[in-house]
Structure formats: C-alpha cells, structure tokens
Amino acid sequence: MKCLEKGMVIWFTGLPGSGKTTIARRVKEILGRHGYRVELIDGDWARKTVSLGAGFTREERRIHLHRIAWVARLLARNGVIVLCSFVSPYREVRRMIREIVEEEVPFSEIYVKASIETVMERDPKGLYARALKGEIKHMTGIDDPYEPPENPDLVVDTERETVDESVEKVLELLRGKYGLDV
C-alpha cells in the first residue's frame, strides 16, 4: 500500500446521469491496483449515511455538500485520495467546497459534461422521467439549474469520449498535477 503523506480531493460534478460515478469508480479501481488508498463518496451513498434526510432545495444541498467537503478533507489529510461524485449544481457551493478542502489539502474539480438531452436519454435511475411527471421536485436540469464550472481543472465530455478515454484524462491529471504513479 502506498501511503501518501497527504491525499487529495478530486470532485466530479455534472448533471445526473452524466457519468460521474462511473468514471470515479474506474479511477478508484485503477488507483487501488497501484496501491493507493482511495475512497469514493457519491451522492447516493452520502444521502443514506452522513447526510441522511438531506433534501434537494438549494439550502439543503449547500448543507449536505458542506458536510461532504469536511469528510473528504479529513480523509485526504490522512493520506487518502478522495473521489467525490456529486451533482453539486451551484457554482457558489462548489467554491465553498474548494475553500474548505484547500485550506489543508489539494483539490481538483472535474466537470463531467453531457447535455440535458443526453442525460435525459440515458436516465439510468429514471429520475428525469419521474421529474417530468411531477413526482420529483428540484430536479437538476428540469426545475432546478445546473451551473457549469467556469474554470474546472479538467473537462471530460461523456457525449464525445468513451468511459476509458475520460478515465485516462483523469489519470493524466493525477499524474501531471499530483505526480501519482498510475
């Protein structure tokens, strides 16, 4: 096991269904095979554990992601590479996350880009279909905005790239910016 003195937080943001968790899972597997200590925190897991009962209004999302930023920071300061996969739709909240994390450990924001039309077509969890029927409120891309990052550290475009191509771009970032041996 390669023990880093300090880890880092890699934050994947994008519309629901854009491919954030799929890419983060693959990156986690590869880093793990290379001996790194890695944690993946995604929205589904977080809402069942550390943010049980968190809602989807702007303020509820801010509070939820504030918690996650601190959990990620604590893990990273103990040598863990933390991959966070969250819609995190608001720029101001992502700025807050970056500020919390960067006080102590490195942070990179990865924009997992896909159009609303593409993610609605994919709709792996049926969320868009339910939102269009009025069964889900505050659905990002339907009745709640997604504010794309203005200056992400990396953009992966899941409409134009394969999962493997997107994963390789993330690994290139980790090699170049953090000197990881992967």
More confident residue, 91 or 2: 91
| pLDDT of 58 over the 80 cut | yes
Residue 3: is its pLDDT beyond 90? no
pLDDT value for 136: 87
Q: What is the pLDDT of residues 95-105, one digit of tens each?
A: 999 999 999 99
Question: Which residue is associated with the tokens 């001996």?
Answer: 35
For residue 163, name the pLDDT band (cuts at 50, 70, 90): very high
What are the structural domains, with CATH classification, of the chain? 8-172 (3.40.50.300)
Residues tagged active-site: 88
Helical spans, DSSP H, in the chain: 20-33, 43-48, 58-76, 91-102, 116-122, 127-132, 163-178
What confidence tens digit (pLDDT) does each residue in 6-41 have? 999 999 999 999 999 999 999 999 999 999 999 999
Kindly report the pTM of this predicted structure.
0.95
